Structure 1
Amino acid sequence: MAMVRMRHGDGVLNPPRTATGIGQVFHALRARKPRRAPDLPGEPRWRSEYVAAEFTGPRLRLQEFGYASRELGRAFGRIDDTALVGPFRMLTEEGLDCLAEVCDRLEPAAGDSGFAAARRLRGADLMSPFLNNMIRDRTFLLACSRLVGVPLIPHPLRIPTAQINYCEGQGRPDIVRWRRDGMDYVFTVQLSGSDEYEGGHFTYFQGRAAEFEDVREDDPRIREAPRGERGAALFLHGSRVFHAVTPVTKGRRVTLVISLFCPYFAGRDSNTFWQLAGDDGALATLPGWVRLKWPVRDAAMDFSMRAASPVITWEDLC
């Protein structure tokens, strides 16, 4: 993912130096010790009834970020134009309690990254039946799809599909890591109440991604999303919107990040191989990457099979 740091010296948000060329290759090939999944006896069981009755919240469209109509995906008379929605309630209170318990119990498997401020666990759905069933539940996927306006399934790249971030009070509150994601459809669920931590504000640049270079910290297009309480969710078109979370300066903030995928816009997927390999290593990334780029005849069916997901079609959104 592209990342930048806020520098108060000149007020310009400049990208840091990152590995390129052979250095980038070595970074992606670095050895990775497999993490042992924590023992989760008696894990709560996922139920479709945990999906909130209605997903709704404040909405911004990509046109409001300066994107032209010709830049947006179109299929079956629909336009892929949702930029940001939220905060909204994704789960019932009981479902949220179960999710928070699962994420707390998975924390021992989380690790540090050289470029992410939070400790994190990628591929969390591979360790938890609750998370696996949640993000592959048809009721859940239909609600997400109708919120965004396009058919969505779990991302076929299994490792980035579900990530839990565990962020605790940090130093250097002046450093803000800006980025845009390779994932196009990103849902973040906040599992900590705002009274449990300080900082941790979600900010975004309300402009085209190509315009972010040389943006100053006092640019009026830098906005802050409404701050939600425990259980608040936010949808972001991650590859189109530069965004950041300000450092947590006190307390603990836990979030679940779910990356979904629209089979009909697979050709527009924003991930690059080296971007993914930088997170997960080249050997772990290659099989999923090859499957993602393999030609398909029936987008909905083929990609759903790859993601072990129910099929969601445009007709389901009606």
Structure 2
Amino acid sequence: MPMSSARSGGTSALDLPRTPTGFQQFSHALRARTPRRGATLPAEPRWRSEFVDRAAAGPRVTLREFGYGSGELSTWRGRPDDTAVVGPLQLLTQEGLACLTEVCDALEGTAGHSRFIATRRLRSADLLSPFINNMIRDRAFLVTCSRLVGVPLIPHPLRIPTAQINYGSGQGRPEIVRWHRDGMDYVFTIQLNGYEDYEGGRFTYFQGRTDEFPEAEPGDARIREAACGERGATLFLHGSRIFHAVTPVTKGRRVVLVISLFCPYFARQDSNTFWHLAGDDGIAATVPHWLRLKWPVRNPAVDFSLRAGSPVVTWDDLG
């Protein structure tokens, strides 16, 4: 199992703040600024499909093990969407990881600050970086991710949250990721450095239903830590069904790329809510993308892939 009890120095992970809701969430939406664009960046390495470890595999935990019933799972012609957690595992080769690290380091100067979920992050990194854009729209990358999760996946059509880089530093005010559940259903995190580079910064989650999380107390055995200590450690999380957080980085530097994918076949069950997105990006930036996501489609696999600028991935690709 990819987890351990999550306590450090006698402090419970539950002491971390939680994502604002209600009026506070609405207030964040009013204050949020559209992500910055137009930065001048140095030349990047070129993405290559060979950077994907197509044999990537790791331990898997099901949504049923989180307490969800069979009737709560999305299904497509008898195929259930039952994957809660996969990993940690190595999704990229060492060369690919080195190139991705170089790219994310170069983008750090364009990162902004937020008090909604992640303290310091760069949203829509794929709109600034050809490397990241080509990586998350590469067929080998998407098919490998799809096979790990067990459903066909493409980049999320909501472009702003598709690729986010979280930067954590032990200098100054501690930077965290609050307790939250994602608007996105299929989320991959790629760790770009290891525990030897920083202290704190532990990925923590609640192994239970989201409606049970408010009742959790310090010492609850369902508070888990994903063992993402190795550089390149990749973790899949069914983000909308799992409460998770990252403890403060107290020393050193932690960088993580967060990729949100989308299953066209379950589009009507997509968990995104308008105000969750607007709380991070602002109302003006969210409206056009949100409306575009809701346009009707005839062929989910093809139409949503076109919207996301992605190759088509179907059930046949899962093998």
State the TM-score, normalized to the length of structure 1: 0.91
Question: How many residues are treated as equivalent by the alignment?
Answer: 310
Query: Partners in 2 of 1:9 and 1:104 — Cα distance?
Result: 31
* Displacement after TM superposition at 1:42 (Å): 2.3
Query: Partners in 2 of 1:304 and 1:33 — Cα distance?
Result: 25
State the partner residue of 2:41.
40
Query: Partners in 1 of 2:229 and 2:115 — Cα distance?
Result: 29
Tell me if 1:122 matches 2:123.
yes
Query: Partners in 1 of 2:310 and 2:162 — Cα distance?
Result: 12
* Displacement after TM superposition at 1:117 (Å): 4.9
Residues 31 and 199 from structure 1, CA distance in 2 versus in 1: closer, same or farther, beyond 3 angstroms? closer
Query: Partners in 1 of 2:248 and 2:40 — Cα distance?
Result: 31
Aligned residue runs from structure 1 range 242-281, under 5 A:
242-281=243-282
Residues 108 and 37 from structure 1, CA distance in 2 versus in 1: closer, same or farther, beyond 3 angstroms? farther
State the partner residue of 1:221.
222
Q: Percent identity?
A: 69
Q: Deviations 1:176-222 (Å, cap 9, x if unpaired)?
A: 83111111000000001210001111111111111111210211111
Residues 249 and 41 from structure 1, CA distance in 2 versus in 1: closer, same or farther, beyond 3 angstroms? closer
Kept in 2: contact 1:43–1:102 (CA 8 A): yes
Query: Partners in 2 of 1:53 and 1:304 — Cα distance?
Result: 21
Q: Deviations 1:129-170 (Å, cap 9, x if unpaired)?
A: 000000000000000000000000000000000000110116
Query: Partners in 2 of 1:15 and 1:287 — Cα distance?
Result: 31
State the partner residue of 1:5.
none
Structure 1 counterpart SS, 2:235? strand
Structure 2 counterpart SS, 1:186? strand
Q: Deviations 1:252-277 (Å, cap 9, x if unpaired)?
A: 00000000000011111111111101
Residues 101 and 16 from structure 1, CA distance in 2 versus in 1: closer, same or farther, beyond 3 angstroms? closer
Query: Partners in 1 of 2:208 and 2:284 — Cα distance?
Result: 35
* Displacement after TM superposition at 1:226 (Å): 1.9
Query: Partners in 1 of 2:56 and 2:237 — Cα distance?
Result: 14
Query: Partners in 2 of 1:94 and 1:12 — Cα distance?
Result: 37
Query: Partners in 2 of 1:171 and 1:178 — Cα distance?
Result: 21
Query: Partners in 2 of 1:296 and 1:271 — Cα distance?
Result: 18
Aligned residue runs from structure 1 range 129-144, under 5 A:
129-144=130-145
* Displacement after TM superposition at 1:18 (Å): 3.8
Query: Partners in 2 of 1:124 and 1:74 — Cα distance?
Result: 31
* Displacement after TM superposition at 1:228 (Å): 3.1
Kept in 1: contact 2:44–2:131 (CA 8 A): yes
Residues 136 and 61 from structure 1, CA distance in 2 versus in 1: closer, same or farther, beyond 3 angstroms? same
* Displacement after TM superposition at 1:12 (Å): 7.0
State the partner residue of 1:313.
314
State the partner residue of 1:145.
146
Query: Partners in 2 of 1:12 and 1:46 — Cα distance?
Result: 39
* Displacement after TM superposition at 1:26 (Å): 5.0
Tell me if 1:83 matches 2:84.
yes
**Residue type of the alignment partner of 2:22:** T
Structure 2 counterpart SS, 1:239? helix
Farther-moved stretch of structure 1 (41-50 vs 134-143)? 41-50
Q: Deviations 1:52-102 (Å, cap 9, x if unpaired)?
A: 131201110111101101100110331100000111011111100100000
- When the two chains are superposed, the root-mean-square deviation of aligned CA atoms in Å is 2.4
Kept in 1: contact 2:35–2:281 (CA 8 A): no
State the TM-score, normalized to the length of structure 2: 0.90
Kept in 1: contact 2:202–2:225 (CA 8 A): yes
- Stretches of structure 1 lacking an aligned partner (at least 5 in a row): 1-7
Tell me if 1:199 matches 2:178.
no
Residues 229 and 302 from structure 1, CA distance in 2 versus in 1: closer, same or farther, beyond 3 angstroms? same
Q: Deviations 1:225-258 (Å, cap 9, x if unpaired)?
A: 1233111100000010111111111110000000
**Residue type of the alignment partner of 1:165:** N
